Amino acid sequence: MAHPAGGPAAMAQPRVLLTKEPAPQTVPASDQPMKAYEVALNTGTDSSSCLATAGFCTAKYLPTEWHLNNSELYRKAFAGCEQAEHGRAEAKELAEYAAAAAQRAQRDSTASVGQRLQDIHFWKAELQRKIEDLDAETRLLAAQKLRLERALDATEVPYAIAIDNLQCRERRQAPDLVCDEVERELLKEAELIRNIQELLKRTLVQASNQMRLNRDHKEFCEMDWSDKVEAYNIDDKCGKYSNQSTNVQFHPSSVKFEESASTPETWAKFSHDNIYRAEQEKLASINLRAVIDNILHDTSEDMRKQCAAVNEAFAKRCEELDDTKHKLEYHLKKILKEIGYQEANIAALQQAIKDKEAPMKVAQTRLYDRSFRPNVDLCRDEAQFRLISEVEELPESINSLKKKLLESEQTLRNLEDTRMNLEKEIAVKTNSIFIDRQKCMAHRTRYPAVVKLAGYQ
């Protein structure tokens, strides 16, 4: 179909419409005159003259051009549809990939938050367990400290009894005013009680310091545990967020790492160090409780043993005095009996000397084993000085016993020489018996029991 000269086709094809040159003339022109013809005029209703259609014949496309133009339009339309369909497929594929990537990233993030919750819960549980352990340990140590205080208070009565016995025995008359076994045992008892009091006071200071350390590390663990609880609640809330949550919004500025943020390694190390230090303090507290228990047990036993030794020495001394008095009254018969007691006393002294071997071995073994303490723990602590002092004191005690043994043997020999002079000693012996038995031994019945000395009452 032809378009007007000013139509779209004319604008799209601004070239000469004719595509072929006119055919050359086959008959050359001649000078002969043209034959004149009469043109028959169409006078009908459909008639037209040649002049009326002359302009339309040169403005038309050829049919081939028309078909080519249509084919080009078809091709462009098909290519456009194909390109659009390919773009839609790519857009759909990209949208599906982006949705899957977002879903996968959100799933991985949720799994990471879940794993983080497990890590926080683990450390939180460990911290809570350590807090409970330290709290329980502190209560146990407080109970041991109370035992120490009670035991320290309980030593006042034995010390007062020992001093009173020594003062009473100063009123003995000569020649009974002697430094006998009873007095040595009383002096040993007073010295033992003073040493025990000093030891209990030092141990009380250690217990107080350890309780303070327990509370400090418990506070550190509680602060760490509180942070873990808050972090757990935050991550738990984050783990529950979903695409359907209504309380989520954009936070562009949150996509950054804080300068003070820790790494997973330092984060775990911080809690691990807190737990490790708390465990160390717990173990130190447990060891201190064991030491306190051993101290209270040993000191109470030592005091009761020394009390028994003093009582035994008193008994022996009273027996000696009784025997002496009987010897003075019954002469040779009782002197012989006293000789028998002296022999028993000599055997007891020999046994006492032999019994000092075991303490000497223990003290020297302790010094030997403590020499293997590593590095800075090879310390000249109070225990070291006390052990050295013990090793030095034991030979003195043995020498004293040996000296007493020699004195007893000499007394045994002297009894044979002094049988006739014993009558004048009856009054002196009566006074000594009264002091030792009625004053001293009666007073010693107030000596506390082992349960009280151990701090249980």
Q: Which two tokens stand for residue 382?
A: 């109070």
Residue 113: count other Cβ atoms within 10 Å of its Cβ. Answer: 17
Buried b (16+ CB within 10 A) or exposed e, 414-439: ebeeebeebeebeebbeebbebbbeb
Calpha distance 188→162 (Å, rounded)? 9
The verdict on pTM exceeding 0.85 is: no
Calpha distance 360→235 (Å, rounded)? 65
Long-range contact pairs involving 320-325 (C-beta distance under 8 Å, separation at least 24): 320/345, 321/176, 321/429, 321/432, 321/433, 321/436, 322/433, 324/422, 324/425, 324/429, 325/426, 325/429, 325/430, 325/433
Q: Please, what are the averages of pLDDT over each run of 10 residues along the chain (457 residues)?
A: 40 39 45 46 48 56 89 92 92 91 88 90 93 94 93 92 92 85 92 94 94 94 93 89 80 73 88 93 94 91 90 87 75 71 84 88 88 85 85 87 86 70 73 88 85 80
For tokens 């020394």, the residue is 306
Calpha distance 35→12 (Å, rounded)? 45
3-state secondary structure of 209: helix
Nearest to 427 by CA among 320, 317, 325: 325
Q: Which fold has domain 108-241+264-316?
A: Helix Hairpins (1.10.287)
Each domain of the chain, given as residue ranges in start order, spans 108-241+264-316, 331-372+379-452
Please give the angle made by the CA atoms of 344, 349 and 354, to the nearest 5 degrees. 125
Q: What is the pLDDT of residue 197?
A: 94
Q: What is the pLDDT of residue 55?
A: 54
Check the CA dihedral 148-149-150-156 and report its sign.
positive
